[in-house]
């Protein structure tokens, strides 16, 4: 075993099995949240690398072994997360943990065949959650292609509301108006939650002014978002065609969703055998066997005329270069998948448009679960998204009981600075609140803040 610094446990006791890209990201995020982490991996070098960087324990061995789990402290563990490269090993790790300790378990399961049986697996094995980075990334890409003006689209209230991020174009009707004036200029009901200008992010007030070039995040009922964008003369029509580079799991999941939406899909993949598999799995897609980095092939397959372009190769560098190439050739909507987080600031400076980080999508879902579990009374944190390079959090709380934040007009609540109540979901109706509205038991409430670590609705109060 390896332990660094002090031995004092903080927060939940969590075992992470698998120290690959997803496991490393979870270690980083959960350590920041103040939890006591132990990692298990068969690769001693990966263990040393992470235990040297973070105040965590490491155990070398097979995470599905009851003995190894006991060495890692399973008897006092609150949560085990299995994110090795093998779906079967992950499920076995969780099964063993449930038998040894009856602790909560989360498994990464990527195989499309298993993904079709998520509810069955979760129920039969008693899993708290099954995570699939490729599937979740595909869902996010599909949401953006449905609303191509957006840089990001994040669902809340079980899909009834969405948080949309986009860049205000030059000469747009929004340029120069304050948020107080917004409702008189644009009839559609939206609430602007955050504004980024010149690299600085603010949670706005009614006096905040929008300028062209700003990146704004706004929330609205899903059915009114297109209406709002049309009123401010921004394109809202979904794409009709897409060209995807790479034929991995993310491509399969994305193509399946796009074809279901009626979007034509063309895929370029190097490996002939994989092309044959995709042809069987996706009979309505066009599968091209070739090198997606070949400029001539890209021109032949319509990169200059296709409405959207999504590089999903396994190499971040290739995805970035392909995106830059596509942006030079046309106005096509481009979405870039990035696996590594180490050059996030550099990536942001390239202005690639919509960038998807599958590891962050998964870590957000797990952190939301962990924060809710850490709460001493029933979990009420349902959704968590990080915005603007994790400088802003958007959270959705379910209100199960009375508290200091309920049944008091919002204007009278003594809320912390840089906190905004974005909507109240009351019996399926999305309310964009005024100062006279109150949070009630039975509501779910979306909060946007520059603070980090909110576990429950009362955290918004000073």
d(CA 429, CA 83): 37
* CATH class, range 242-356: alpha beta
Q: Tell me the CA distances in angstroms from 68 to 64, 109, 215, 227, one per residue in order.
A: 8, 22, 48, 56
Is the pTM higher than 0.85? The answer reads yes
Neighbours of 401 (CB within 10 A): 11
Q: Report DSSP letters for 237-305, one per residue.
A: PPPSEEEEE--SHHHHHHHHHHHHTT-EEEEEES-HHHHHHHHHH-TTSEEEES-TT-HHHHHHTTTTT
pLDDT tens-digit profile, the chain (462 residues): 444 434 433 589 999 999 998 999 999 999 988 899 999 999 999 999 999 999 999 999 999 999 999 999 999 999 999 999 999 999 999 999 999 888 999 999 998 888 778 888 888 888 999 999 899 999 999 999 999 999 999 999 989 999 999 999 998 999 999 999 998 888 878 999 999 999 899 999 999 999 999 999 999 999 899 889 988 888 778 899 999 999 999 999 999 999 999 999 999 999 999 999 999 999 999 999 999 999 999 999 999 999 999 999 989 999 999 999 999 998 899 999 998 877 777 787 787 889 999 888 888 889 888 888 776 444 488 889 999 988 999 999 999 889 999 999 999 999 999 999 999 999 999 999 999 999 999 999 999 999 988 988 999 999
Q: Where are the domains of the chain?
A: 2-131, 137-231, 242-356, 381-460
CB-based contact 270:298 (threshold 8 Å): no
CB-based contact 451:417 (threshold 8 Å): no
CB-based contact 331:149 (threshold 8 Å): no
Q: What is the CATH number of domain 2-131?
A: 3.40.50.720
CB-based contact 162:220 (threshold 8 Å): yes
So what's the pLDDT on residue 6? Answer: 43
d(CA 453, CA 368): 10
So what's the pLDDT on residue 362? Answer: 87
So what's the pLDDT on residue 381? Answer: 85
Q: What is the CATH number of domain 137-231?
A: 3.30.70.1450
Topology of domain 381-460, per CATH? Alpha-Beta Plaits (3.30.70)
So what's the pLDDT on residue 258? Answer: 97
Task: Please determine whether the domains at 137-231 and 381-460 fall in the same fold group of CATH.
Answer: yes
* Strand duo 191-197 + 129-131: pairing: unpaired
d(CA 166, CA 195): 10
So what's the pLDDT on residue 153? Answer: 93
Q: Hey, which residues does 447 pair with through a beta bridge?
A: 395, 421
Task: Output Rg (C-alpha) for the chain, integer angstroms.
Answer: 23
So what's the pLDDT on residue 372? Answer: 80
So what's the pLDDT on residue 339? Answer: 87
Angle between helices 133-146 and 358-374 (to 10 degrees): 110
So what's the pLDDT on residue 375? Answer: 60
d(CA 242, CA 282): 14
Q: Which residue has the tokens 């969590």?
A: 14
So what's the pLDDT on residue 277? Answer: 96
Which positions ≥6 away from 173 have C-beta within 8 Å?
185, 186, 231, 232, 233
């Amino acid at each position: 075993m390896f332990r660094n610094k002090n031995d004092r446990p903080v927060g939940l006791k969590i075992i992470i099995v698998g120290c690959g890209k997803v496991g490393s990201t979870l270690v980083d995020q959960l350590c920041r949240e103040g939890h006591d982490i132990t990692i298990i991996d068969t690769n001693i070098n990966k263990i040393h690398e992470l235990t040297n960087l973070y105040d965590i324990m490491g155990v070398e061995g097979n995470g599905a072994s009851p003995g190894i789990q006991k060495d890692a402290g399973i008897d006092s563990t609150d949560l085990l997360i299995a994110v090795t490269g093998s779906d079967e090993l992950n499920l076995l790790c969780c099964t063993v943990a449930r038998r040894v300790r009856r602790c909560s378990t989360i498994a990464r399961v990527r195989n499309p065949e298993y993904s079709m049986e998520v509810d069955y697996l979760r129920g039969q094995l008693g899993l708290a959650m099954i995570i699939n980075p490729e599937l979740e990334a595909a869902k996010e890409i599909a949401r953006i292609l449905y609303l191509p003006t957006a840089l990001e689209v994040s669902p809340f209230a079980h899909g009834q509301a969405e948080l949309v991020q986009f860049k205000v174009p030059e000469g747009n009707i929004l340029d120069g108006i304050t948020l107080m004036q917004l409702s008189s200029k644009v009839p559609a009901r939206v609430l602007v939650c955050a504004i980024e200008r010149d690299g600085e992010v603010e949670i706005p007030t009614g006096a905040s002014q929008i300028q062209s070039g700003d990146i704004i995040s706004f929330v609205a009922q899903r059915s009114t978002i297109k209406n709002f964008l049309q009123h401010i003369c921004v394109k809202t029509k979904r794409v009709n065609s897409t060209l995807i580079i790479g034929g991995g799991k993310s491509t399969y999941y994305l193509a399946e969703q796009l074809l279901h939406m009626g979007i034509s899909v063309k895929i370029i993949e190097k490996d002939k055998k994989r092309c044959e598999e995709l042809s069987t799995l996706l009979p309505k897609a066009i599968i091209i066997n070739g090198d997606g980095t070949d400029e001539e092939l890209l021109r032949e397959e319509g990169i200059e005329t296709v409405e959207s372009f999504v590089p999903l190769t396994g190499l971040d560098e290739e995805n970035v270069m392909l995106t830059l190439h596509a942006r030079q050739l046309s106005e096509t909507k481009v979405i870039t998948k990035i696996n590594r987080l180490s050059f996030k600031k550099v990536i942001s400076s390239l202005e690639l448009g919509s960038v998807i980080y599958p590891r962050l999508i998964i870590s957000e879902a797990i952190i939301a679960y962990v924060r809710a579990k850490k709460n001493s009374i029933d979990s009420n944190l349902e959704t968590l998204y990080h915005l603007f390079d994790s400088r802003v959090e958007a959270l959705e709380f379910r209100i199960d009981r009375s508290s200091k934040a309920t049944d008091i007009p919002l204007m009278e609540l003594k809320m912390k600075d840089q906190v905004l109540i974005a909507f109240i979901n009351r019996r399926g109706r999305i309310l964009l609140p005024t100062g006279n509205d109150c949070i009630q038991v039975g509501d779910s409430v979306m909060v946007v803040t520059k603070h980090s670590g909110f576990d429950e609705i009362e955290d918004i109060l000073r």
